[in-house]
Amino acid sequence: MIEEFEVSESSGASFDIKKFLFRALSYWKFFVLLFAIGVFFVYQKNIREEFSYQLGTKISVEDDSNPLFTSNASLTFNWGGVTSKVQTMVVTLKSRSHHEKVVDRLEFYKSYLKQGRFRLQDIYKAAPFRFSHDYNFPQLINTPIKISILDTDSYELEVEFPSSVVTAQNYFTKELSNVDVNSGLFKRQFKFGDSVELPFLKGVINVAEKRKAIAGEVYFIQFSDFNSIVSSYQGRTAVSNTNNSPILDISLIDKNTEKIVDYLNMIVTVLSEDQLNRKNQYATNAIAFIDEQISRVKGELTSNAEELNDYRKKNKIYSLDEESTALNDKLSKFDADKESINRQLNYYSNLKNYLLTSSSFTEIPAPSIAGIGDGNILANVARINELSVQKSKLQYSVRSDASVFNDLNRQIQGLKNVLLENISSATNGLNRELQNVNSSLSRIESQFNKLPEDQQKLITIERQYSLSEQTYNVFLAKRGEAEIIKASNVSDILVIDSAKNTGATVLGRNLNIRYVFALFAALLIPLLFAFVLTFIDNNIHSPMDVEQLSSIPILGVVGKNVLDNNLVVHRKPKSAVAESFRAIRSNLQYYYKSKDLDGTKTLLVTSSVSGEGKTFCSINVATVFALSEKKTILVGLDLRKPKIFGDFGIKNDIGVVNYLIGQESIEAVIQATGIENLDVITSGPIPPNPSELLINDKLGELIAYLKTKYEYIILDTPPIGLVADALELLEHVDASLYVVRQDYTKKGMLNFINEKYKTKQIKNISLIYNGYDQKAKYGYGYGYGYGYGYGYGNYANGYHDDAKTNTNFWYKLMALLRKSDT
């Protein structure tokens, strides 16, 4: 039923969740395909996955002091306790220099490989041979060198060169260089044990101990850039210290567990050796200094002994008298005191010069070797040495502008200033002692000058010999002390748990979770696609869309035409489409009755744009009236794009246009259609001025005449959204039908007719929903719950000859959703 009432402004359509869900469900095949592709991709990726493993070792940093050390003879410095040592060890283990030593010792820049299922795999010690390369010769890097074993004594070396220049590295100097080669495949046979001397490779391949070369097996050798390998191992090594304890946990991640074990154990070995060498540094420096002094004094002692013997033989004086002996003893004592003071003054002078000119203070000899027992000097020298060692360690792992360097530099500078003050004070005291010794020597020498000349000469020679002998004995004693201390030192690194492959931790994600991600990805893509299409979709896809967009009532819903022309009602009278037009006829008749319209009824059919099925609806509405034995005529007033003649098999030579311009009479333009009770007036030739013709008074005369001959007049008019012709024709009709087509009509196209309806410029208008397809992926079944029509409900399915029961699962699911929605 069509009623006239006030309407409000049509609200803008919001995002349609239900439409989105139905559209997404329609993409289930797309989802299945994507999921199958995802599962295949994940499976291929999983079987190619190469797992990494993690192993660890545990060490303790001890504070093992040498029990032979004394406060007066210490040749080592104090490290500052365990806490300072631990931090130094952590920094050392993370430093690049430390990893360089480990990689160098293990030669981990050289890999032994074997072809696996998907890639070359590192087999490490499993290779049956070892390649001893020349360290001081550039070796080819980053290119696998194929080793094919021919028999137990020989092999074939093969390399594929993509270009004429390759990169090589000298593993002694670590320098990279370019080597010219012949591009293409290089092959050459060698005997195991023979020297390999090639422009890009030099060394010897020998069969490994207790291994046997098997003919036919293929292996690869590959050298890598030294710096890259060091960086890789440095980045994969972790050092942790829990709660500032002396315990350090060291772990490494790698794809080969044997390599992890060897690398971790070598890390600890190198650390222990370096720490012990650092601990022995004072003793080593002292021994080197003492050796220099012994070499000098030994020469003087030998020269003095020869001079003494020569003098005694020449002058036949082999002993001194009692007075000369006593005098000689006094002179020797003061000479020894003077030598000791001068030795200390010389040490202080060298130490002062070292402090003023050097930037590193790790090579300071122990003060005790010069006979210095000043506690302040000993402590400050040890402390400045310790800080210098700590600074040198940090240089490998911390930026030079870091705050820790500024703090260390301030401490070293402060200790240097204190040491310089200590040296100045000690030097002044020694100079005073030296003056006293010189005074005593002067008094003794005045008595010495009174002795006979031959006794004076002998005493002088013996004094020089005795002085050299005492100095020599002092240095020998100091050297022995340093050797004993050095030999008795032990490393402060205690291995608690050495690295061992007793169950490496497998690192990596749960690979099965990837299938879940594949499922979500396969689900997300169709959903996203459906969301975007729904969001940007501006077409009308269901009668409910029309209800949301317009207050104009829907008179009927017409199904999709599957025939090759528009005569559905005539050719398929029992079809669902024909029934829908019968429903429209019933509603129109009810409307005409409610308006007390007698005589001829007129109906105008229009739409927004061309292609919405306006002519299709006009023909079939006219047909359904004619089939009810009502005299009906269809008038084609779409003068710009005439269509109705083709479906009836008639010509469009003459029509409305010919009548309106006065060329033909009304009787001449009326044509029979072959359908009982239905005539048609085609539009005729396309005129240059269609709008002017339609507002001509002759059109009114035409309709007035037709009302005397026919019971129903159907006007097929131009689209109202494109031209205003149809608006001019509204005064001639009792009712109007506005055609909306599923999946074709844009939502915004209804704005024009809504506005006209709201302002009452158009009355007595209803909507026809055309092209309805309940299987469309936009997904709304429409049961005609209006009370003014019927079509695709359960009742219709039992009546129409083209209705078929759909047993498709998705159809049943959608039907269930539609039922729940109603």
Q: How far apart are alpha carbons 224 and 174 in whole angstroms?
A: 11
Asked if 722 and 769 sit in the same domain, the reply is yes
Asked if 290 and 261 sit in the same domain, the reply is no
Hey, what amino acid is at 575? Answer: S
Asked if 557 and 624 sit in the same domain, the reply is yes
Lowest mean pLDDT across 19-28, 467-476, 638-647, 743-752? 467-476
Residue range 581-600: mean pLDDT, rounded: 91
| C-alpha angle 17-21-25 in degrees, rounded to nearest 5 | 170
Token pair in block for residue 623: 């047909």
Asked if 311 and 237 sit in the same domain, the reply is no
Residue 142 pLDDT > 70: yes
Asked if 473 and 618 sit in the same domain, the reply is no
- Round the CA-based radius of gyration of the chain to a whole number and report it: 55
Q: What is the pLDDT of residue 68?
A: 42
Token pair in block for residue 314: 């020449």
Is residue 512 within a helix (H) or strand (E), and if so which, with residue range? none
Of 272, 306, 341, which marks where a domain is finished?
Answer: 272
Residue 224 pLDDT > 90: yes
Name the strands in the sheet holding 165-169, side by side, starting at the edge strand that comes first in the sequence: 139-140, 165-169, 176-180
CB atoms within 10 A of CB 798: 8
pLDDT range class, residue 565, cuts 50, 70, 90: confident
Residue range 419-425: mean pLDDT, rounded: 82
Q: What is the pLDDT of residue 177?
A: 94
Asked if 643 and 690 sit in the same domain, the reply is yes
Percentage of the residues of the chain whose pLDDT score is greater than 70: 75
Q: Which of 633, 575, 651 is nearest to 804 (CA)?
A: 575
pLDDT range class, residue 776, cuts 50, 70, 90: low
Range of the domain at 806: 538-821
Domain assignment present for 501:
no
Residue 451 pLDDT > 70: no
Give me the sign of the Cα torsion angle 412, 415, 417, 422. Answer: negative
Give 603's strand partners.
714, 735
Phi/psi at 383 (5° precision):
-70, -40
Asked if 264 and 303 sit in the same domain, the reply is no
pLDDT range class, residue 420, cuts 50, 70, 90: confident
pLDDT range class, residue 756, cuts 50, 70, 90: confident
E-only strand ranges, 150-260? 154-161, 165-169, 176-180, 184-191, 195-198, 201-207, 218-223, 237-240, 247-254
Domain assignment present for 8:
no
Q: How far apart are alpha carbons 221 and 146 in whole angstroms?
A: 7
3-state class (DSSP) for residue 200 = coil
Asked if 267 and 286 sit in the same domain, the reply is no
Q: What is the pLDDT of residue 646?
A: 86
- Quick one: angle between helices 513-536 and 17-25, nearest 10? 130
For residue 40, what are the contacts with CB-CB under 8 A and spacing of at least 6?
none
Average pLDDT, whole number, for the chain? Answer: 79
**CA end-to-end span of the chain, whole Å?**
21
pLDDT range class, residue 788, cuts 50, 70, 90: very low
Token pair in block for residue 294: 């012994």
pTM for the structure as a whole: 0.51
Domain assignment present for 71:
yes
Asked if 751 and 634 sit in the same domain, the reply is yes
Residue 767 pLDDT > 80: yes
Q: What is the pLDDT of residue 187?
A: 93
pLDDT in tens, 245-269: 788 888 998 888 888 899 999 998 9
Domain assignment present for 224:
yes
Helices (H), 358-402: 375-394
List own/partner pairs for 407-413 with CB under 8 A and 24 or more apart: 411/387, 412/361, 412/384, 412/387, 412/388
Q: What is the pLDDT of residue 682?
A: 93
Asked if 36 and 148 sit in the same domain, the reply is no
3-state class (DSSP) for residue 750 = helix
Q: How far apart are alpha carbons 313 and 663 in whole angstroms?
A: 169
Q: What is the pLDDT of residue 274?
A: 82
The answer to whether the CB of 751 falls within 8 A of the CB of 551 is no
pLDDT in tens, 63-113: 655 444 443 444 433 333 445 677 778 888 889 999 999 999 999 999 999
3-state class (DSSP) for residue 117 = coil
| Phi and psi based region of residue 371 (left: phi greater than 0; alpha: psi -120 to 50; beta: remaining) | left
Token pair in block for residue 637: 């007033």
Domain assignment present for 503:
no
Q: What is the pLDDT of residue 821?
A: 44
CB atoms within 10 A of CB 156: 14
Q: How far apart are alpha carbons 298 and 696 in whole angstroms?
A: 142
Of 230, 247, 272, which marks where a domain is finished?
Answer: 272
Domain assignment present for 716:
yes
Print the SS3 string covering 427-492: HHHHHHHHHHHHHHHHHHHHHHCCCCHHHHHHHHHHHHHHHHHHHHHHHHHHHHHHHHHHHHCCCC
Q: Which of 696, 711, 608, 620 is nearest to 658 (CA)?
A: 696
Asked if 584 and 730 sit in the same domain, the reply is yes
Count of domains observed in the chain: 4
CATH code, 653: 3.40.50.300
Asked if 396 and 332 sit in the same domain, the reply is yes
pLDDT in tens, 514-529: 888 888 888 899 889 8
Q: What is the pLDDT of residue 421?
A: 82
> Hey, which of 171-175, 360-364, 815-819 has the most confident mean pLDDT?
171-175
| C-alpha angle 421-425-431 in degrees, rounded to nearest 5 | 140
Q: How far apart are alpha carbons 252 and 263 in whole angstroms?
A: 8
Give 539's strand partners.
746
pLDDT in tens, 628-678: 999 999 999 888 888 888 888 898 899 999 999 989 999 999 999 989 999
Q: How far apart are alpha carbons 798 and 572 in whole angstroms?
A: 16
Q: How far apart are alpha carbons 749 and 740 in whole angstroms?
A: 9
Q: How far apart are alpha carbons 122 and 599 in whole angstroms?
A: 100
| Phi and psi based region of residue 76 (left: phi greater than 0; alpha: psi -120 to 50; beta: remaining) | beta
The b/e string for 617-639 (b: 16+ C-beta within 10 A; e otherwise) is bbbbbbbbbbbeebbbbbbbbbb
The answer to whether the CB of 769 falls within 8 A of the CB of 556 is yes
The answer to whether the CB of 789 falls within 8 A of the CB of 557 is yes
More confident residue, 51 or 102: 102
Q: How far apart are alpha carbons 642 and 667 in whole angstroms?
A: 20
Domain assignment present for 506:
no
Hey, what amino acid is at 100? Answer: E
Residue range 391-415: mean pLDDT, rounded: 67
Domain assignment present for 38:
yes
Q: How far apart are alpha carbons 221 and 144 in whole angstroms?
A: 6
> Hey, which of 230-239, 320-329, 766-775 has the most confident mean pLDDT?
230-239
Tell me how many helices (H) and strands (E) the chain has. 25, 25
Is residue 800 within a helix (H) or strand (E), and if so which, with residue range? none
Give me the sign of the Cα torsion angle 641, 643, 646, 651. Answer: negative
pLDDT range class, residue 233, cuts 50, 70, 90: very high
Is residue 711 within a helix (H) or strand (E), and if so which, with residue range? none
Q: How far apart are alpha carbons 489 and 507 in whole angstroms?
A: 41
Distances (CA, A) of 464 to 243, 250, 457, 559, 658: 62, 60, 11, 133, 152
Helices (H), 26-173: 28-47, 81-94, 96-106
Q: What is the pLDDT of residue 449?
A: 60
Q: How far apart are alpha carbons 31 and 29 in whole angstroms?
A: 5
Q: What is the pLDDT of residue 796?
A: 34
Hey, what amino acid is at 408? Answer: L
